[in-house]
Chains A and B, each alone.
Chain A
Amino acid sequence: MGDLAELISRYHVVLAFWMTIKLTVFGGLGALIIGTLIAIFRVSPINVLRWFGAGYVNIIRNTPLTLIVFFFAFGVLNTLSVSLADPNSPNSIAENNFRWGVVALSVYHASFVAEALRSGVNTVPQGQAEAARAIGLSFFPSLTQIILPQAFRGAIAPLGNTLVALTKNTTVVSTIGVAEISYQMKNMIEFSPQLLYAIFLLVAVCFVVLTLPVGALFTYLSRRLAVQR
């Protein structure tokens, strides 16, 4: 047990865990914003926007996250040298990797958020939209004041699933050297292979601790906030 404690401090496991949480939070916020926009595009009356939304979802959802992360890190950052960090900052490489990692996570999960919201829109009865139209609201007010608030409440369960998946998918960002927990897991195992099982259990428990409460919370919320009909 002493060996494991030493490993934890040597490889900054707590910091790595914190990095996983940061990736989840920022990635989740980004995905929520982009995903909501795409969902609005997909139900809008304008066909160009609908095509764009459908194209985005179909392309992004069918591409592996690994490839998307690579695309932003090696393609956009290294080859095209589009930097998201201050180049004079001492750890601009790490900052850049982190920020592009967040962008990749947001872009990927936005397609799932958009699909979740669209399924949420489908749970809203037609009568709601008809009533909104009947009292004279046009597309945008009826969407933002009547449909979307109910759609979010109906989409809580799939949104929660997306957040849980996002939490787990933050591990993929370790490919581009963001020091989150699976990155340190690899280093720890290579440093002391005899602790293989303990290290795996440690990392697994970290994720169980993160995902189980989130899953339970969203299940509770989806019941609590479901629109009574």
Chain B
Amino acid sequence: MSVQPKTFRNSSKRIILYVVLVGSSILMMIPFYWSVVTSLKLEKFVFTSPPQWIPNPLVWVNYIHVLTKMPFARYFANSVFVALAVTLAHVFFDTLAAYAFAKLKFPGRDQIFFVMLLALMVPFQVNLIPLYKIMAAFHWTNTYLALIIPNLTSIFGIFLMRQFLMTIPNELLDAARIDGCSEFGVFRKVVLPLALPGIATLIIFTFMGTWNDFLWPRIVINSEKLFTLPVGLALLQMKNTSNEAQIMAGTVLTALPMIIVFLFMQRQFIEGMTAGALKG
């Protein structure tokens, strides 16, 4: 309780706080609510005035249409596999490298980090063709490898973790070193526990980024067996023919797994991690 700054002790200020929190949360949720509602409507009720806030009648035809037209389970499994593999790799490689950049001294450290930042500044669209040629040279096109190997680490992730690790006091690390810990021991015993909120953030963004990646998989993957969910869904949304209700059903189906992962993460990870961090 003592963490709580005095500002909000005042009860009228608390009321304002709640009004802002609840009001803005509802405003944030409306687009999602609206897309779910739309996906459960008959097409002719999508654009009505006044808006139909509760679908009447409530129908599942749009979902049935989407699910019968594509191997949803297969796309889903591909997406999960690729996102999990990439996320695991990131937590390990990004955090390790970030620790080196934030807390260890070695020649060329700042120069290498600077070059990494520079590479962030070239839009992916331009690297698309050269990267495709590299994949072709390795014979990796149209395989899971093309989705995973170029994404084992990310500059974004290293940068994010570096900024988090920089806030760890050096005294803690030195203390562990004096206790005889190796660098990896320091990393595992001191750095990792303190970096948990940052790691949770990294997991969320990496999983999300991989799950939602669209441009690269649709270029490098040819066979339907390897399609990820966003790529598979794009196939359904043919120009001219699809109606808004069906599009929204597809949209909800793409977004839903991510949202479930997040809600799960929220309970299992974030709460636990922040509790640990506050104690630390």
| Chain A partners chain B | no
Chain B residues at the A interface, C-beta cutoff of 8 Å: none
